[in-house]
Amino acid sequence: MIEEGRNLERYDRQLRIEGWNQENLTKARVVIAGVGATGCEVSKNLALMGVGKLVLVDNDVVELSNLSRQMLFLEDDIGRPKAIVAADRLKKMNPLINIEAYFEDVRNLDVTVFEEADVLISCLDNWPVRRWMNSLAIELNKPLVDLAMEGFYANLQVVIPKRTACLECHGEDLIPQEAQLAECTLRRRRPEDLVQDLKNAGIEISTKVAEKLFEHDIKTIYDLKYAQEGVLIKLDKKTLKVVKEIRERLRPKLPALQSVAAMISGLASTEIVKILHRDDLGELVKGLFVYDGLAGQFTVVELERNPECFVCGDFVEEELTITIKPSESILELKKRVAEIFRIPDPEILYREWRLPDDKKISETGIRENDTIYITTSRRFMPLQLRIQMIQG
């Protein structure tokens, strides 16, 4: 009883807000991917307000240059995993809540971590993983709050699956061309291409090293930057060392400012609280919310959900079929799939077998009405396609 009284006292001021229901927070489970500047701020806000379960995920360790913004970390924490340190600090700030921390690439976690969540928060600093989170949120039908910042600018988007635009609905306009092109692995790349791309970025490697990387499907600068741990551990020691050195040099060191992080994270946290109150506490931000700290301006870019979006569009729920000819090669089929579904890097699986580019359909054993699966870095679950065979 005394305990309960103390808990009520802790939240006294927010309990006075009209329409507030602390239980909506206490019972909630929120996953925060990325515990950098915005991740620290958002998790601190949610912890203080009493969100019952926070799940923190980050595969980085604390560095000195983080300390000007990532407010949960101190000098003594340098070298320690961010998610673990953050969990310790937050637990001290509010002992009433539970925290789960993962020192891991968010893409490697078991799906149950997300399935039990009420809201997913993306505080990530790169497009490939943000897009992956977006697709995950749509496929699991979970609200997603996505934040990003650079220098004096920051933006925020709340995605309610099937109700509002997702990150990909207007991806062609809103996702940098560079990120879109770099992901495309359909072009037949040669090790020499990687050597040249790196040279353009001011990094020299030998063709021999590039060949080694190709053996492990590391074919672009993007692959180098974002290859998952599972791929890296398969490299031999020498190649791994080269990859680590290249990564260090390629790592995007974007300008960032604590005040801007606090600003956008504060807004995002308020939206999260509203989502947890299920429309009882006012309306959610619509579209893309943009903050320009230099001009001192807020802009809301209206975004309609795109029914043809390849992630959240209506087709995703229908049974999809694709017509193929026995004489078509897998590479040709991949190109068509890429075009139809706007997926840059499709791989085709048939009976759990990844089909090689140079095989013809007739050599794969695929028949009318069989199902093939399309995997891509852009989707969480593979896309299922039923085969309609035409002769020729």
Sites of contact with Zn ion (CB under 5 A) = 166, 168-169, 309, 311-312
CB of 184 to Zn ion, least distance (A): 19
Instruction: Give the DSSP letter string of 49-99.
Output: HT-SEEEEE---B--GGGTTT-TT--GGGTTSBHHHHHHHHHHHH-TTSEE
CB of 262 to Zn ion, least distance (A): 29
C-beta of 311 vs 337, nearer to Zn ion: 311
Whether residue 133 contacts residue 378, with contact meaning beta carbons closer than 8 Å, is answered with no
| Span between the terminal Cα atoms of the chain, in Å | 78
Whether residue 37 contacts residue 70, with contact meaning beta carbons closer than 8 Å, is answered with yes
CB of 164 to Zn ion, least distance (A): 9
C-beta of 53 vs 379, nearer to Zn ion: 379
Q: How many C-beta atoms surround the C-beta of residue 201 within 10 A?
A: 12
C-beta of 96 vs 340, nearer to Zn ion: 340
Which SS3 state, helix, strand or coil, does residue 198 take?
A: helix
CB of 312 to Zn ion, least distance (A): 3
C-beta of 53 vs 170, nearer to Zn ion: 170
C-beta of 164 vs 265, nearer to Zn ion: 164
CB of 338 to Zn ion, least distance (A): 18
Cα-based distances in Å from 251 to 190, 212, 226:
23, 21, 10
CB of 156 to Zn ion, least distance (A): 17
C-beta of 69 vs 378, nearer to Zn ion: 378
Q: How many C-beta atoms surround the C-beta of residue 42 within 10 A?
A: 27
- Give the closest residue to 243 by CA, choosing from 261, 229, 253: 229
